[in-house]
Structure 1
Amino acid sequence: MIDNSVLITSFFAFGVALAISFAMTPIVKLFAKKVGAIDVPKDARRMHKVPIPRLGGLAIFLGFLISILLFGRIDPQMKSILLGAVFIVMLGVVDDIHPLKPLVKFAGQIVAALIPVLSGVVVERLMNPFGDGKYFELGLLAVPLTVIWIVGVTNAVNMIDGLDGLAVGVSTIATVTVFTIAVLVSESYIAVTMAALAGACMGFMPYNMNPAKIFMGDTGSMFLGYLLATISIQGLFKFYVGISFAVPFIILGLPIFDTTFAIIRRLLKGQSPMHADRGHVHHRLIDMGFDQKQSVAILYMLSVVLGLSAVVLATSGEVKIIILAVAILASVLIGLSVTGHDKKKEKEQQEEKQDEGTEDAPGSEEKHG
């Protein structure tokens, strides 16, 4: 039974976060210009053509923080999560103004992860899908694996922040997914937290959609990754253990798999895993001929499919069948869209080659007598 009071509180948390984030973004934009937090397009990885202010994540953070202080439940573990969030945001602000060395940033992310972990925000067990035992007890592995999870997701969201509106949109979809599951399993604490985060993201989105007026920068992408990682540990790992092995990975499937393949790709090339390149899934869609808006729309749809799949694991009966059908339909539509666009691109390239061949043919040039 869904608790109406949770939905009402979540609604207000969402609205307040959205309003604050929306109102603060122009102010943050002016601040970014003043301190020189500007993203200058200086390599092929960057899709924008003109310098654009960073630090937009600061508006997202402020919207979320104020809303959660007003409507959220602040227990000791939530305090530690918020403290870690403050640290990761400060790290992001410094990096957006004066880019940090990768190892320094990585060390900072570990520190941010340790703050909640040392306060008990830890994955203690995972479901055992292979044996008769119900769970894998992690024991001494609990702390290092939790830190790896938090740092990994933090970087995963950071790495997909390559197109206007992509990272904030994918994070919003993941947030709404966690919110939906939290409501279904009556976890009001998680639901209100996710409602506040979704509102903060959506308040920023109008400024970040193509063509973007401001980027959220590492301030925003690391904050979103960190918070999704820590809240999923609090909510889905601890309170709904039966699905904990799969759900967070499915919800964050796009950034996790993109980052995993990026690391493998770089290692195979003999490069550092932190070496930036143009091999991410959003770059590949651009190279296939999709523009930024089309690429982002495709990845949004993929994230929705993953989100629906995660919700399926937390539902039953007719609802599960309906959600699964929608997920399958969305997958088919994505496949048809990509395949159709690819064929159209190939046809255009063939026509261009034929036109070039006609122009180069003997006697095809105009004669002037």
Structure 2
Amino acid sequence: MLEPRVIFDCLVGACTSATAIFMLRRFAVMLGLMDHPDQRKQHAGDVPLVGGLAIFMGITVGAAAYGHFHWFVKILIFTAMLLTVLGALDDRYDLSVRDRLLIQALAILTVIASTGVYIHTLGRIFGYEVNLGWLGPPVTVIAIIGLMNAFNLMDGIDGLAGSLELVSIAAIVLFASPPALQEMVLLLAMLATASLPYLLTNLGFMGRKIFLGDAGSMLIGYLLAWSLVRMSQATQTHLSPVDVLWCVALPVFDTFAVMLRRTRQGKSPFKPDRGHVHHILLDAGLGPRTTLLVLTSVAVSFALIGAFISHLATSAGLNLAAFLFTMMVYIVTVTRVRARQEAKRKRERPAPNRIATNEHAHARLPSR
């Protein structure tokens, strides 16, 4: 249970986030942080991309009010600031994938070098302790970048990324022992409370709509990923490295499904399209709010399934096998559904106008 002082600090962060939304929304055009609709982005009108900046401001002020974080959280917030700025620049100038990945990797390596925290073990898999040794840092870089981009890819309809963030935080508390690593639980509480004003605004309950932007999806994925790494590698918690996967199952599943499909089609795995699970549900006829409700329920279900399996499994290996089997079922299901939707669209595509074709052919004939 969080102490009253901690609750107050979280409320300070939430109020700061709400105030930042009000201020940043007014200057979004001047800052160039506007999202314009196109063939892939089918929202109505230009929308400010300031949600991530507001969330970071809320976390920073809340953390400053608390003032008792140790070195790991301090360096984490500092590098999160760099990535939030990177995300804002990406929203403004559309940076290359290479530049984004390079700066993300440098931020992660800075935390590893400064704190010594990284994935050094995967736990006991089928009776064997899987220690990564020198592979630990590169695996950590890949895992954190992967989760950051997973939340970026899931930010496709109103409220989805924010809702999945709250589900992941609740799942971490469900799996872990709350008294252990209290400062990590507190950081996640500040992330959740600072995100609530954004979520309400994004869903249209608090003034003109705003979007999270790459700044926000990077920030959420980064803090969640590092929290999972820190808590899964500490002996004081009950959060095993395999349990971590269930806490973020839906973003991980969908990212693997999308990247596998793009690779099989000979496309870049980073090339955006309308092939994510939320696009599939929208194309199936569901409305945006219904899609949000369905996917949030699916994410909660995955977390509960993981908690149930973790409780029953006699080893982490069986837990991992259950996770991989669930992911395989998910990938096969969404891939087949999307393939049927694509086939239906091709069948319904209007055939070329035969009369117009004949007239064009006659136009090429020489006159008599």
Match of 1:319 in 2: none
Q: Does 1:205 align with 2:199?
A: yes
Q: Is residue 13–residue 192 contact of structure 1 (8 Å, CA) maintained in 2? A: no
Give, as a single letter, the amino acid of the residue that structure 2 aligns with 1:150.
I
Normalised by the length of structure 2, the TM-score is: 0.79
Give the corresponding residue for 1:220.
216
After the TM superposition, which residues 86-105 of structure 1 pair with which residues of structure 2 at under 5 Å, given as runs? 86-105=81-100
Structure 1 position 78 matched with structure 2 position 77: no
Alignment correspondent of 2:185: 191
Q: Does 1:117 align with 2:105?
A: no
| 1:124 Cα deviation after fit | 1.0
Cross-structure match for 1:267? 263
Q: Does the aligned pair in 2 maintain the 1:93–1:218 contact within 8 Å?
A: yes
Cα distance change, pair 280–210 in 1 and its aligned pair in 2 (3 A): farther
TM-aligned CA deviation for residue 10 of structure 1: 4.2
Alignment partner of 2:130 out of 136, 151, 161: 136
Distance 1:241 1:263, change over 3 A: farther
Structure 1 counterpart of 2:249, from 250, 253, 258: 253
- 218-227 or 175-184, larger mean C-alpha shift: 175-184
Q: Residue 259 and residue 240 in structure 1: after superposition, are their counterparts in 2 closer, same or farther (change >3 A)?
A: farther
- The offset of 1:77, in angstroms, is 1.7
In structure 2, distance between residues paired with 1:315 and 1:19: 38
Alignment of 1:161-172 (within 5 A): 161-172=155-166
Q: Which amino acid aligns with 2:154?
A: I
Structure 1 CA distance for aligned equivalents of residues 99 and 65 of structure 2: 34
Q: 2:177 touches 2:237 (CA, 8 Å); kept in 1?
A: no
Matches of 2:212 and 2:290 in 1, distance apart?
Answer: 20
Q: Matches of 2:236 and 2:42 in 1, distance apart?
A: 40
Task: State the match for 1:345 in structure 2.
Answer: none
Cross-structure match for 2:318:
none
Shift of 1:183: 4.9
Q: Check the 8 A contact 2:232/2:241 in 1, yes or no.
A: no
CA distance in 2 between counterparts of 1:149 and 1:297 reads 27
Moved over 6 A (4+): 313-316
The CA distance in 2 between the partners of 1:269 and 1:218, in whole Å, is 26
Any idea what the Cα deviations from partners look like across 1:146-175, whole Å, max 9, x if unmatched? Answer: 001110101000010000111011112212
Partner of 2:281: 285
1:200 Cα offset (Å)? 0.7
Q: Across the two proteins, how many residue pairs are aligned to each other?
A: 316
Match runs of 1:327-346 below 5 Å: none
Residue 127 of structure 1 aligns to a residue in which SS? strand
Q: Is the 8 A contact 1:55 1:218 kept in 2?
A: no
Which amino acid counterpart does residue 135 of structure 2 have in structure 1?
A: L
The Cα shift of 1:38 comes to 0.9
1:313 is displaced (CA, Å) by: 6.8
- Does the 8 A contact of 2:177 with 2:239 survive in 1? no
For 1:306, give the aligned amino acid. Answer: F
Gaps of 5+ in 1: 317-341, 343-369
Residue 35 of structure 1 is matched in structure 2 by 31
Tell me the CA shift for residue 31 of structure 1.
Answer: 2.2
**Which amino acid counterpart does residue 137 of structure 1 have in structure 2?**
N
Q: Per the alignment, do residues 181 and 21 of structure 1 end up closer, same or farther by CA in structure 2, a change over 3 Å counting?
A: farther
2: CA distance between counterparts of 1:84 and 1:280?
A: 29
Q: Please state how far the C-alpha of 1:185 moved relative to its aligned partner.
A: 5.1
**CA distance in structure 2 between the aligned counterparts of 1:60 and 1:304, rounded to whole angstroms:** 23
Aligned to 2:365: none
- State which drifts further: 277-286 or 209-218: 209-218
- The structural deviation recorded for 1:72 is 5.8
**How far apart are 1:237 and its partner, in Å?**
3.0
What displacement does 1:314 show?
Answer: 7.6
Stretch moving more, 235-244 or 114-123 = 235-244
- Aligned partner of residue 128 in structure 1, secondary structure: strand
Is the contact between residue 17 and residue 203 of structure 1 (CA under 8 Å) also seen in structure 2?
no
Give matches, 1:283-322, under 5 Å: 283-312=279-308
Structure 2 match to 1:153: 147
User: TM-score when scaled to structure 1?
Assistant: 0.79
Q: Which runs of 5+ in 2 are unaligned?
A: 313-336, 338-368
Deviations 1:123-154 (A, max 9, x none): 111112212x3x21110110000001110101
CA 1:66–1:314: 2 relative to 1, 3 Å: farther
